[in-house]
Amino acid sequence: MSSMTLVEENEPLIRVMALHAVVYCPRLYYLEEVEEIRVADAAVWSGRRLHEELGEDEEVVSMVLESSALGIRGKVDAVRRRGGSSYPVEHKRGRSLRDGQNNAHAWESDFVQVVAYAMLLEEHLGESVKEARVHYHQDNVTVVIPVGPGEHRMVKLAIEEARKVSQQIIRPDVTEHDGRCLRCSLAPVCLPEETRLAKAMLWKREVSEDVLVPDEVDDTPTPVRLFPPDVEGRALHVVTQGAKVGVSKGRLRVSFGREVLDEVQMNGVSEVVLHGYAQISTQCLRRCAIEGIPVHWATTGGSHAGSFYGPVLAAQRKVRQYKALSDAEVCGGLAQKVVLCKIEHQIQHLMRSSRGNVEVRKSIALDLSQMRAARAKASRSKEVQELLGYEGVVARHYFGALSNLVQEGAGEEMKPMGRSRRPPKDRFNALLSFLYGQLYRDLLSVIMRVGLEPALGVMHTPRSAAPPLVLDMVELFRVPVVDMAVLGAVNRQTFDSEKDFDVTPVKVWLSESGRKKALEVYERRKHEEYKHPVLDYSLSYARQMELEVRLLEKEWSGEPGLFAQFRFR
C-alpha cells in the first residue's frame, strides 16, 4: 500500500469539503479545519439554501459516507444510478470553468471533491465507480468527470497535503491567486489584502536607498476591503435594575415583572450586557452560547464584573502568542507601537479641539510641548518600563489640558479636575470611567472571539483584576472612541448635571438616566466610520477593534507591520 493511503489508527477523518478547501487555498483549509474558524457569509447561506431545496427533490438521494482506509468522510449531494452503475453528483451554485473553446470543465477543487465522493461510494457499494458529475447552477451545466487511477491519485495527494498542513503551528502563506480571496467568507479573519500590503511595505523598507526600483515594482498596493465596514450586530444593554432577559422564538425579550421593555431578534445582537442587578435566564444563556453571543455583567459604575462565552477553540493561536510574548524584545517593540499610537491620539485630540481658538491653544501650549518631548523619547525606546514612564508623563499633561477644552456653555461643574478614578471625583471623570469600562468589555470580547489569551499582554503587568492584553488594546482606543465622544457630548450639553449624576462629597457616579445617555453616546461613536490612513479604506471603530486585534496576532505570525498604525486626522 502506498504511503499516501496509510492512515494512523487514531487520526481523525478529513472532511471531503476540507479537501476542496486545501486544493483551493491551504490557508483557508488551515483556518477552517485546524483552527476551527468558520464564518457563514451570504454566499455560504446561499449554498445551504440550494442544498435544502435539492433535498426536497425525490429523485435526489443524499448519502453520508466515510472510509477509515482513505481517511476521509463526507455527505455527497446526490447519488444516481444509470445503466447498472452508480455515480455521485455535486451541486455548485456558481459557474463552471471555461476553456478557450468555451467548453465547460470542473474547477480543480470541485474536481477533487467529487472524485473523493466517487472513491467513498466505490468502497461503500463494493463496485467500481467510473464517473462523477458536477452541476453548476449559474450556467446550468453538468460536467462529467471520468474516474480512474489518475483521478484517485489526485485525491490521495490532496489528503496527504491536508494532513501535512494540519501538523503546522504557523498558518500557510496567503494564496498567490488573489482573485480567490474576493468571495472568501474567511477574508475578515485571514486579512489577505492587508497581509500583501504589509509585505510590500516591509520590502520597501528593506530595499537600500541606492538601489533603483522601477515604479511599477515599487508601487505599494492599495488593499481591497474584503469585509463589511461595520459589525453586523448591535449590543443589547440592559440598564434597568431588576430587569430580566429571556428568549422566545429566536428573540431576546427584556422584561420587568410582566412589562416587556424591549424585544429584538437574536441574529441582530452582537452581545448582551447586563448592568448592575439585571438578570438573564439559563435558557437564554444556553441559546446565546449556541448562537455565539457573549453575555457580560457590569457594575452600575461601568466596571466589568464577568463574561460568559461559548466554546473558543484556539490552541494554535495561543501557542504562537505564548511563544512570542515570552520574548522581552518582541514585547518591547509592540509596547512602543501601542504607546506611540496613544500619545499621537492624545496630542491630535488636543490640537483638533483647540483649533481656531487662540486663547485655548495658548493655555495648553506648554502641555503640548511636554507631550511632544515625551513622544520623541518614546520613539527611541523599546524598554517597557521606560515607555510606561513616558506614557504617564503624557497622561498627566493631557488630562491637565482637557478642562480647557470644555466650552463655557457646558457649565463649570462639567469640567474635569485632572484624571480621577476609583472613585471618579467629578462628572467628566465619571463619564470617562463608565465608558472606559464599556471599551474594556468590547475589547475583551474581541480578543476572546479572535482566540487570543487575554492574560498575556505586551506591556501591562499580569494581575487578577484585569487581563493585560485587554488593557494594552484599550490604550489604542481610549482617545478616539471615549475621550472624543465624551468631550463632544459635554460640549453639546447632552447631560443634565443634576439628573444624570449621583454626587456625594467623595465620589460622582452616573444615575440610571446618565448611564442610558452615556451608552447611547458610546454606541453611536463605535459605529461611526473613519478612513484608515495606511489601509486607505473606511471602517467603523467597532470593526477597527477587531482588525487591530487580528493585526496584533499577525505581528507574531510572520506577517507584521500594520499593527497600531491607525491615526485619526
Whichever domain contains 79, its CATH number is 3.90.320.10
**What is the total count of domains within the chain?**
4
Asked whether residue 439 falls in the same domain as residue 461, the answer is: yes
Residue 561 is assigned to a structural domain of this protein:
no
> What CATH number is given to the structural domain containing 279?
3.100.10.20
Using CA atoms, how far residue 128 sits from 36, 316, 332, 338, in Å, is: 35, 41, 62, 62
Residue 335 and residue 275 in one domain: no
Task: Look at residues 285, 308, 331 and tell me which one is the last residue of a structural domain.
Answer: 308
Residues 285 and 152 in one domain: no
- Regarding whether 195 and 101 lie in a shared domain, the answer is no
Cα–Cα distance for residue pair 330/556, rounded to 1 Å: 8
pLDDT tens, N- to C-terminus, the chain (569 residues): 344 444 555 678 899 999 999 999 999 999 988 888 866 444 443 444 444 444 444 344 677 888 899 999 998 888 988 878 889 999 988 899 998 888 999 999 999 999 999 999 999 989 999 999 999 988 999 999 999 999 999 999 999 999 999 988 888 999 888 888 888 888 888 888 888 888 887 766 665 444 544 444 445 667 777 767 777 778 899 988 999 999 988 899 999 988 889 889 988 888 899 998 899 999 999 988 888 889 999 888 778 888 888 777 678 888 899 999 999 999 999 999 999 999 999 999 999 998 888 998 999 999 999 999 999 999 999 999 999 999 999 999 999 999 999 888 888 889 988 887 788 998 999 999 999 999 999 999 999 888 899 988 998 876 656 789 999 999 999 999 999 999 999 999 999 989 999 988 889 999 989 999 999 999 999 999 988 888 888 999 999 999 999 999 999 988 898 999 988 77
Cα–Cα distance list, 461 to 446, 454, 524 (Å): 20, 12, 32
Task: Give dist(CA 472, CA 25) in Å, integer.
Answer: 33
Q: Please report, to the nearest 10 degrees, the dihedral formed by the alpha carbons of residues 537, 36, 453, 470 taken in order.
A: 30
Say if 564 falls within a structural domain: no
Determine, yes or no, domain membership for 117.
yes
Rounded (10°) CA dihedral 77, 80, 85, 88: -20
The angle at the Cα of 444, spanning 438 to 448, to the nearest 5 degrees, equals 150
- In this structure, is residue 224 part of a structural domain? no
Range of the domain at 265: 234-308
494 phi, psi to nearest 5 deg: -70, -35
Helix or strand run (H / E) with residue 246: strand 244-248
User: What are the cell numbers at 416?
Assistant: 474635569
Q: What is the reported pTM? A: 0.82
Do 67 and 118 lie in one domain? The reply is yes
